[in-house]
Structure 1
Amino acid sequence: MSNPYFPLPENESERLAALASYNILDTAPEDDFEELTLLASQICQTPVALISLLDDKRQWFKSIVGSDISETPKEYAFCAHTIVETTEIMVVNDARHDDRFSENPLVTGDPNVIFYAGVPLITGDGHALGSLCVIDVQPKQLTEDQVKSLKILGRQVLAQMELRKKLQLLEKANEQLLETNTFIKKFATTAAHDIKNPLSSILLTSQALQMRLKNTGDEKSCNLVALTLNSSKRLLTLVDEMMAYSTRPALLLSDQQCLDLNKLLKNVVSLLDIPHNFTVNLPRVEHTLTCSSVALEQIFINLLANAVRYNDKPKGIINILFREDDGQYCFKVSDNGMGIAANNLQKIFEKDVTLNATDRFNKKGTGLGLYTVKLLVDKLQGTIHAESKPGDGTTFVFSIKKNVAVNAGDINAAAYQQ
């Protein structure tokens, strides 16, 4: 049973946890709280006003006008009663004649509290953290307007506390984001270095092998070496481009290039080494686009890789369609693979979501491919969604913003073309 002179809320442990989450105890004075406290004193015409917060042992003042006291023991706190007994306002016109406070040292001695009015600071979860109160050394009564104003000021104190908490959380999130970005940049630099070294070796070895094969007349071997050389050069370029974008993401919008869509798609297909039992149908009409080539390549690399991996048919088919309207380039990538259940069509774009599916190579995904695609499409100011039926394949429909007008040639803007 609690001490009648030291009442405790029923949810005291939860209340203390809520108070701690604001990280406000023992902090320096702040103008926003000082001004509200001063306003409470002036409106209620009292020499003392304060913002009181109660932890497990004390009553601590975030702001106080008319006194230099920073805290008092909790068992003496009028506010300890306020947070238990009311959700509106507690008014004590003369504490000397109130059984709860007549023997309180704050009443019988300095600072001689006689009049008290306090508004509890209650969070949206129902936790009373403390109060905004006004104090006088003589009996007093508040007018109806003063009571109303004190309640309004109490809500403003809590609003400032909520804002302060959100700003702290935002600062912490920004710090974590900065730390993460720094790590990613360092990791990307190291990874790029680790990738470029063996690629450079492959390139040099292939060039030396090509020189030796030139005089042998082995045309097939020469073609294979040429293919290796081209792939190595393309991969080196791709690594350099990815490094540039990892350090300056804004380049995705500012670094626009005029490109041939089919040429880009053929490069992607060559990088992926599509199995022989797959047919990839590119748009039949040539299309010239102006956009970020590296971003578009990354999108198609992920989508085509998934179309291959999650295909259980003897003959895989991938169709790529394109159309454009006044403001967007629009794409469809369809396959005849395993398909995706309707309730998972939104989840697949979330980070680390794999649906526990095993691909044709008996491996599980990392849950980063489609998440990365979604990030890139968003950055390019577009949209993406999936349409699918289990067993019948999947279609990814995405668009990116068209920033520069291009010569559409024979493109029919009203329909996708193949």
Structure 2
Amino acid sequence: MKELFLEDNEAERLKVLDSYKVLDSLPENGFDDITKLASQICETPISLISLIDKDRQWFKSRYGIDVHETQKDHAFCTHAILNPDEVMMVPDSLKDDRFKNNPLATGAPHVVFYAGVPLVNPEGYPLGTLCVIGHEPKQLTPNQVEALKVLAKQVMNQLELRKKVNELKETATNLQESYQYLERFAVMASHDIKTPLTSIILSAQMLKARYGDLVDDKANHMLDTINHSSKKLLDYLNQMLDYSKSNTVLTKRKQEVFLTDLIQHIIKLLNIPASIRFEFHERNVYLKTSRIALEQIFINLINNAVKYSDKENGLIKLEFLEEKQFYRFKLTDNGKGIAPKEIDTVFISKMLISDEDKMQDRNAKIGLSTVKNLVESLGGEIKVNSVLNEGTTFEFTLRK
């Protein structure tokens, strides 16, 4: 067989086909009824709704045949979509130079007769065909051809309706997610600004208590710290306001992040006690992601590790692995650990809990709920493993 070349806009056609999200979908009665009716009207043993993909023709509906797809190079329908305004009729493929050596004609399913109506979307792109197939030479009557055209229009109507329904579902999901983000935003944001706000307050208190009215280099350094923390807080609030409107803002605003600098900044910001050793041995690690989101993830996780450290020699260890499609992080501590009954709900924000330190545990859960939302918004997953009185490990991924 000669190789068949489609039009120059083939890449655009494939993109349009993909937008219908129909390839490899499950059978649907509405389409199956059409192929059955087409076969009965045209008096053929086989009828197909064929969609022409990059390297195959895939059957959304098939009547009288068991296969789900065939090679694109062998597909009669590939020829049919070259002339989207015409019905392609092949009375006898074994006498047609285009198909007489085609394996679909010389072997199973023995396509001798073929008639296909291109399925053309409103923008004019042919997606595939509604076709009927016979094992013997045949001609369709004018009425049968007209009926096949009408059924092809119904296939296209079904595809358009299916696409609209999917778009509406996606829109509804996005609206629901945005509503939930807005609903949780006040609680989450109020919690997440506590860390930089605490830094501002502590710096101001230290400046006042230690130096009084004196202004020297150290005092100026404290003022610089206040200024820096205030700017970070403002930047964070602005981005969180954007995030509350749509979580996709995080995936769109990626920037290069030097991981070592980010971790050192967070350690300094949190003022980790000298009794806790922080280990991170990676160097020269650059990521491309949302810096503000990654910073908030680490602030929450590291702050919790510090908060629940109960050992004389505390340890927090960060491990990093770059994979083909993801960045993988593992943060381990040797603190109190999490009770088995709490593991399944650790990422669920609860306003009322029964633990002895209610305010501290409530804030921790709000923080971990924030972490989970941020990780998932960046296309990743997070899980936790913990042994009571031995420590906890949080492992999460971020899509590149």
TM-score (norm 1): 0.44
TM-score (norm 2): 0.46
Larger Rg: 1
